[in-house]
């Protein structure tokens, strides 16, 4: 038998196409009796509405685009995994779906926007990893494509809370500040920071948190600040230099770096009774070796991003509108390193 459509179903039932459409999209408009009759016929015939026809008419695809970031490091990458998951589920709950695309660079990402909008109807985009002078947000704003970003718009001059596009971010600085505060409470004064080279927004923010905590405590430790590219070996080397400079504890911008640092402390037999290395992102590996780490509420962030984006898309009035800009607080996952853990992840 031929594939069922609204018309074919309507004919066989003796009602109009619109009635069937109403059963699907606005059941309250149909008399319960006929509704049941139609619903039964739908199930019977295996009728499936054509999404294309609906999209053509309603001008909405219920599809959101998201870029799959290049795999950099299996350790930190796992948080992206969680994010993608939460995002998919949140979108699903609001009847949206996620369309993947991959791009090597930001420029490439913009090219992909163009391409995707040409061949696919996307209602909006989710951005991750915003940074200074981000070309992508500029392009999207200019072309009036709806989007929301995980990451605030980093700018030296403008207040992120007055930005034109919705965003959700985690207050990394508050996290490192809290972590540093904890180490201070435990009696450490020579607390180092291992982070990334300046300019990355999120990285600078994390460094600032560490600095703020020390300043508040009246401790001067600017010389205990190291900037390296991410990775376990780099973290170990950085920690070695910090130990040589007298550091007794470190806060790190990532778990990869922290894992290296932990290893450095252990191999120098400088491990105190209480945890003295704190990582960032609370990855599974951190949990496995008992590394304390700053945990981002990533699932919550994903839900908020979807909420704020779908709200923009639904075009509702501002009444009852969720906040367009959200800065979520991280939490500190405190752990006691396993007695054997951390010794020699990679020298």
Partner DNA sequence: ATCACTAAGTTGAACGATCAAATAACGTTT
Partner DNA sequence: AAACGTTATTTGATCGTTCAACTTAGTGAT
List residues near DNA by CB under 7 A: 3, 5-7, 14-19, 21-22, 24-25, 28-31, 33-35, 47-50, 53-54, 56-59
> Among 193, 265, 280, 345, which residue interacts with a second copy (rule: CB under 8 A)?
345
The least CB distance from residue 207 to a second copy, in Å, is: 25
Q: Which is nearer to a second copy, 10 or 87 (CB)?
A: 87
Closest CA to 127 of 91, 155, 166: 166
Q: Which residue from 30, 29, 36, 37 is spatially nearest to 13, judged by alpha carbons?
A: 37
The candidate with the shortest Cα–Cα distance to 332, out of 292, 302, 301, 299, is 292
Nearer to DNA, 48 or 321 (CB): 48
Can you give the C-alpha Rg of the chain in angstroms? Answer: 26
Residue 265 within binding range of a second copy, rule CB under 8 A = no
**29 contact, one of DNA, a second copy, none, CB 5-8 Å limit per kind:** DNA
Cβ distance to a second copy smaller for residue 183 or 309: 309
97-102 and 167-170 beta bridge pairing: unpaired
Instruction: Kindly tell me which of 10 and 264 has the beta carbon lying closer to DNA.
Output: 10
3-state SS, residue 245 = coil
Write the DSSP assignment of 159-186 as a string of letters. -GGG-SS-EEEE-HHHHHHHHHHHHHHT
Distance CA 6, CA 21 (A): 7
Residue 26 or 244: the one with the smaller Cβ distance to DNA is 26
* Binding test (CB under 8 A) with a second copy, winner from 4, 116, 145, 327: 116
- The distance of closest approach from Cβ of residue 246 to a second copy in the complex, given in angstroms and rounded to an integer, is 23
In DSSP notation, 244-258 reads HTT-SEEEESSHHHH
Per-residue x/- marks for a second copy, 45-84, CB under 8 A?
---xxxxxx-xx--x-xxx----x-xx-xxx-xx-xxx-x
Q: Strand 124-128 to strand 331-333: parallel, antiparallel, or no bridges (unpaired)?
A: unpaired
In terms of Cα–Cα distance, which of 341, 184, 176 is closest to 266? 341
The residues, ordered by sequence, that sit 6+ positions from 10 with a Cβ below 8 Å of its Cβ are 16, 17, 19, 20
**111 is an interface residue for a second copy by CB under 8 A:** no
Q: Which is nearer to a second copy, 110 or 117 (CB)?
A: 117
Give the binding site for a second copy (CB under 8 A).
Answer: 48-53, 55-56, 59, 61-63, 68, 70-71, 73-75, 77-78, 80-82, 84-85, 88-89, 92, 95, 97-102, 116-121, 232-233, 263, 267, 283-285, 288-290, 338-347
């Amino acid at each position: 038998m031929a594939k069922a459509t609204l018309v074919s179903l309507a004919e066989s039932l003796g009602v109009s196409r619109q009635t069937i459409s109403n059963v699907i999209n606005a059941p309250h408009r149909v008399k319960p009796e006929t509704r049941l009759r139609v619903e039964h016929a739908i199930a019977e015939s295996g009728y499936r509405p054509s999404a294309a026809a609906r999209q053509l008419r309603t001008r909405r695809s219920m599809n959101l685009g998201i870029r799959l970031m290049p795999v950099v490091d299996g350790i930190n990458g796992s948080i992206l995994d969680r994010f993608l998951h939460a995002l998919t589920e949140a979108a699903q709950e609001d009847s949206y779906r996620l369309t993947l695309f991959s791009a090597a660079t930001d420029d490439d990402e913009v090219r992909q926007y163009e391409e995707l909008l040409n061949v696919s109807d996307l209602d909006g985009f989710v951005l991750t990893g915003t940074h200074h002078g981000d070309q992508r947000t500029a392009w999207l704003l200019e072309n009036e494509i709806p989007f929301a970003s995980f990451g605030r718009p980093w700018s030296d001059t403008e207040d992120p809370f007055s930005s034109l596009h919705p965003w959700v971010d985690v207050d990394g600085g508050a996290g490192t500040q809290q972590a540093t505060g904890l180490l201070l409470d435990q009696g450490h004064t020579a607390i180092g920071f291992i982070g990334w080279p300046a300019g990355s927004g999120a990285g600078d923010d994390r460094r600032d948190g560490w600095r703020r905590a020390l300043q508040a405590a009246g401790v001067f430790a600017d010389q205990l600040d190291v900037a390296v590219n991410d990775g376990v070996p780099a973290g170990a080397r950085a920690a070695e230099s910090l130990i040589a400079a007298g550091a007794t504890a470190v806060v790190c911008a990532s778990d990869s770096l922290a894992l290296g640092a932990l290893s450095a402390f252990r191999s120098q037999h400088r491990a105190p009774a209480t945890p003295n290395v704190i990582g960032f992102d609370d990855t599974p590996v951190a949990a496995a070796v008992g590394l304390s780490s700053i945990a981002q509420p990533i699932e919550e962030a994903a839900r908020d991003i979807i909420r704020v984006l779908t709200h923009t898309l639904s075009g509702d009035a501002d009444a009852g509108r969720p906040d367009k800009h959200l800065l979520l607080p991280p939490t500190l996952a405190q752990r006691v390193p396993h007695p054997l853990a951390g010794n020699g992840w990679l020298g």
